[in-house]
Amino acid sequence: MDIIAGLNPQQIQAVTAPAGPTLVLAGPGSGKTRVLTQRVIYLISEGVSAYRILAVTFTNKAASQMRQRIESQMEGDTRGLNVGTFHAACARLLRSEADHFSQSREFVSRDFVIYDSADQRSLIKHAMDRHRIDTTRFKPVRIHSTISNAKNDLVSPAEFQRDSYYDEIVGQVYESYQQLLRANNAVDFDDLLMGAVEILQSDPQILKRYQDYYQRVLVDEFQDTNHAQYTLLQLLAGSHRQLFVVGDPDQSIYRWRGADYHNVRRFQQDYPEAKVVLMEQCYRSTQTILDVASAIIDQNRGRTAKNLFTERKGGNAVDLREAYNEEEEAGFVVETIATQVLQEQFLPGDCAIMYRTNAQSRVFEEAFIRAGIPYRLFGATRFYARREIKDMLAFLRLACNPRDGVSLERVLNVPPRGIGRKTMAALQDAAGPDESLCTVLLDLADDGTRSPHYDSIGTRPARPLVAFGKILSRWIQAVQEEQSMEEVLHLILKDTDYERYIQDGTGIGLDRWDNVQELLKVARDFGDTDLGAVLEQIALVSDVDSLGDDQDSSGAPCLMTLHSAKGLEFPLVFIVGLNDGVLPHRRSFDEPEEMAEERRLFYVGLTRAKEQIYLTYTFRRRNFGEDAMGLPSRFLDDIPDELMVGDVSGRPSRSLASGPSRQVTRRRSVDVVPASSVPVSLQFTTGQRVHHSNFGSGMVIDSKLVGSDEIVVVAFDGVGIKRLVAGTANLEVKAN
Contact with DNA (CB under 7 A): which of 437, 541, 670, 699?
Answer: 541
By beta-carbon proximity to DNA, the closer residue of 232 and 699 is 232
**Shortest distance (Å) from residue 352 CB to DNA:** 13
Amino acid at site 567: G
Contact with DNA (CB under 7 A): which of 248, 543, 580, 611?
Answer: 543
Contact with DNA (CB under 7 A): which of 238, 349, 379, 555?
Answer: 379
Distance (Å, whole) CA 222 – CA 247: 5
Contact with DNA (CB under 7 A): which of 42, 160, 174, 189?
Answer: 189
Furthest-apart CA atoms within the chain: distance in Å? 86
Q: Which of 281, 284, 305, 283 is nearest to 294 (CA)?
A: 305
The answer to whether 214 touches 239, Cβ cutoff 8 Å, is no
Q: Active-site residue 486, yes or no?
A: no
Q: Catalytic one among 33, 299, 683, 686?
A: 33
Tell me if 393 contacts DNA by CB under 7 A. Answer: no
What is the pattern of x (binds DNA, CB under 7 A) and - over residues 663-692?
------------------------------
Q: Which of 523, 516, 511, 573 is nearest to 547 (CA)?
A: 523
**Helix, strand or coil for residue 351?**
strand
**Shortest distance (Å) from residue 212 CB to DNA:** 25
By beta-carbon proximity to DNA, the closer residue of 284 and 356 is 356
By beta-carbon proximity to DNA, the closer residue of 519 and 540 is 540
**Shortest distance (Å) from residue 555 CB to DNA:** 22
The answer to whether 367 touches 360, Cβ cutoff 8 Å, is no
Burial of 337 (0-12, 13-18, 19+ CB in 10 A): buried
Tell me if 359 contacts DNA by CB under 7 A. Answer: yes
Tell me if 132 contacts DNA by CB under 7 A. Answer: no
* Stretch of 45-53, 165-173, 234-242, 556-564 contacting DNA, by CB under 7 A: 556-564
Contact with DNA (CB under 7 A): which of 564, 661, 676, 683?
Answer: 564
By beta-carbon proximity to DNA, the closer residue of 69 and 566 is 566
Give the footprint of DNA on residues 286-345 (CB under 7 A): none
Contact with DNA (CB under 7 A): which of 109, 413, 503, 694?
Answer: 413
Q: Could you give the C-alpha distances from 732 to 300, 681, 701, 708, in angstroms and in order?
A: 55, 17, 15, 20
Enter the DSSP assignment of 585. Answer: B
The answer to whether 310 touches 282, Cβ cutoff 8 Å, is yes
Which residues contact residue 75 at a Cβ distance below 8 angstroms, ignoring those fewer than 6 apart? none
Contact with DNA (CB under 7 A): which of 624, 669, 681, 693?
Answer: 624
Contact with DNA (CB under 7 A): which of 179, 299, 358, 665?
Answer: 358
By beta-carbon proximity to DNA, the closer residue of 280 and 569 is 569
**What are the start-end ranges of the E strands in 267-314?**
275-279
**Shortest distance (Å) from residue 314 CB to DNA:** 33
* Stretch of 236-244, 378-386, 609-617, 699-707 contacting DNA, by CB under 7 A: 378-386
Give the footprint of DNA on residues 573-612 (CB under 7 A): 585, 587-588, 594
547: how many CB neighbours lie within 10 A of its CB? 18
Distance (Å, whole) CA 666 – CA 669: 10
Distance (Å, whole) CA 402 – CA 474: 12
By beta-carbon proximity to DNA, the closer residue of 265 and 460 is 460
* Stretch of 11-19, 537-545, 602-610, 686-694 contacting DNA, by CB under 7 A: 537-545
Q: Catalytic one among 11, 13, 32, 188?
A: 32
In 497-623, which residue ranges form alpha helices assigned H by DSSP? 498-502, 507-526, 531-541, 544-547, 562-565, 592-606
Q: Catalytic one among 251, 360, 537, 688?
A: 251
Terminal CA-CA length for the chain: 60
Tell me if 88 contacts DNA by CB under 7 A. Answer: yes
Q: Active-site residue 10, yes or no?
A: no
Distance (Å, whole) CA 672 – CA 651: 25
Contact with DNA (CB under 7 A): which of 356, 376, 397, 453?
Answer: 356
**Shortest distance (Å) from residue 121 CB to DNA:** 7
* Stretch of 47-55, 411-419, 611-619, 661-669 contacting DNA, by CB under 7 A: 411-419
By beta-carbon proximity to DNA, the closer residue of 230 and 695 is 230
Give the footprint of DNA on residues 215-274 (CB under 7 A): 256-257
Distance (Å, whole) CA 335 – CA 321: 13
With b meaning 16 or more CB within 10 Å and e meaning fewer, what string describes 298-319? eebeeeeebebebebeebebbb
* Stretch of 135-143, 166-174, 432-440, 489-497 contacting DNA, by CB under 7 A: 135-143
Q: Active-site residue 32, yes or no?
A: yes
Q: Catalytic one among 608, 610, 634, 722?
A: 608
- The helix-helix angle for 459-480 and 421-431 (nearest 10°) equals 70
Q: Catalytic one among 221, 248, 443, 709?
A: 221
* Stretch of 38-46, 356-364, 485-493, 512-520 contacting DNA, by CB under 7 A: 356-364
Which residues contact residue 578 at a Cβ distance below 8 angstroms, ignoring those fewer than 6 apart? 615, 616, 617, 632, 633, 635, 636
By beta-carbon proximity to DNA, the closer residue of 240 and 620 is 620
Give the footprint of DNA on residues 39-78 (CB under 7 A): 58-61
Tell me if 208 contacts DNA by CB under 7 A. Answer: no
* Stretch of 25-33, 132-140, 401-409, 514-522 contacting DNA, by CB under 7 A: 132-140
Give the footprint of DNA on residues 415-434 (CB under 7 A): 416-424
Contact with DNA (CB under 7 A): which of 8, 542, 686, 694?
Answer: 542
Q: Active-site residue 251, yes or no?
A: yes
* Stretch of 46-54, 307-315, 409-417, 703-711 contacting DNA, by CB under 7 A: 409-417
Which residues contact residue 523 at a Cβ distance below 8 angstroms, ignoring those fewer than 6 apart? 484, 485, 486, 489, 534
Q: Active-site residue 343, yes or no?
A: no
By beta-carbon proximity to DNA, the closer residue of 8 and 542 is 542
Distance (Å, whole) CA 361 – CA 565: 14
The answer to whether 620 touches 635, Cβ cutoff 8 Å, is no
Q: Active-site residue 198, yes or no?
A: no
By beta-carbon proximity to DNA, the closer residue of 420 and 687 is 420
In 75-226, which residue ranges form alpha helices assigned H by DSSP? 86-102, 117-130, 140-152, 165-183, 189-202, 204-213
**Shortest distance (Å) from residue 587 CB to DNA:** 4
Q: Could you give the C-alpha distances from 307 to 53, 101, 280, 503, in angstroms and in order?
A: 32, 50, 6, 59
- The helix-helix angle for 507-526 and 531-541 (nearest 10°) equals 120
Distance (Å, whole) CA 245 – CA 266: 12
Contact with DNA (CB under 7 A): which of 100, 382, 494, 668?
Answer: 382
By beta-carbon proximity to DNA, the closer residue of 49 and 546 is 546
What number of chain residues touch DNA (CB under 7 A)?
Answer: 47
By beta-carbon proximity to DNA, the closer residue of 11 and 229 is 229
* Stretch of 200-208, 444-452, 561-569, 673-681 contacting DNA, by CB under 7 A: 561-569
Q: Could you give the C-alpha distances from 726 to 111, 675, 694, 708, 729, in angstroms and in order?
A: 50, 12, 14, 11, 5
732-733 and 720-725 strand pairing: unpaired
- The helix-helix angle for 227-237 and 140-152 (nearest 10°) equals 20
By beta-carbon proximity to DNA, the closer residue of 542 and 661 is 542
Enter the DSSP assignment of 404. Answer: -
Distance (Å, whole) CA 216 – CA 52: 7
Q: Could you give the C-alpha distances from 517 to 42, 389, 490, 526, in angstroms and in order?
A: 44, 10, 10, 14
Question: What is the set of active-site residues?
Answer: 32-33, 220-221, 251, 608
Residues binding DNA (CB under 7 A): 58-61, 85-88, 116-117, 135-136, 139, 189, 256-257, 356-359, 378-379, 382, 413, 416-424, 540-543, 546, 561, 563-564, 585, 587-588, 594, 624-625
